[in-house]
Amino acid sequence: MTDRHQPSSPSRTRKRSAGLASLTGEREFRQVRKGKTVRTPYFTVRAVHYRPKHREPYRPMTIVGIVVSKKTLKSAVDRNRVRRRVREALRLLELPPCRAMVLPNPAVLSVDFAELQAQLKRAFDKAAP
């Protein structure tokens, strides 16, 4: 018998990179949309306080969903580049424990990375409860 059919874990994995988890499912996104909104010249951040899901152990963490619509950026290459830049900037920052959604503007492509990090930090400090 092969190990090909190993049972999967009860919950989907969130980890994408060290220290940064992703929002999963429509329910989490709906919950975050009700949170506090902060707008900057480069993006909009919506955040709610981190609470563990039912039967999930309490591990304070930042769970982020990065949403770049086709309406915002037409090219898939640009949308993915924006996601990668924002995810890396978030990974390098020490963020408060929360569930958040980041909606970048097209200006994120042309801004300096240090400025992008500073704006993200400022927005998360205001938005995270």
Q: What is the pLDDT of residues 44-69, one digit of tens each?
A: 999 998 877 777 777 778 889 999 99
Strands of the 20-22 sheet, one edge to the other: 15-17, 20-22, 62-66, 98-104, 43-49, 36-39
- Is pLDDT of 16 > 80? no
Q: Is residue 29 part of a domain?
A: yes
Segments forming the whole domain that contains residue 109: 15-127
Q: Is residue 3 part of a domain?
A: no
Alpha helical stretches, state H, 42-75: none
pLDDT for position 3: 52
As for how many domains the chain has, the answer is: 1
Q: Is residue 116 part of a domain?
A: yes
pLDDT for position 62: 86
Percent of the residues in the chain that have a pLDDT greater than 90, as a whole number: 54
- C-alpha distances out from residue 44 to 18, 20, 54, Å: 24, 19, 29
CATH code, 49? 3.30.230.10
pLDDT for position 8: 47
Residue 94's pLDDT band, with cuts at 50, 70 and 90, is confident
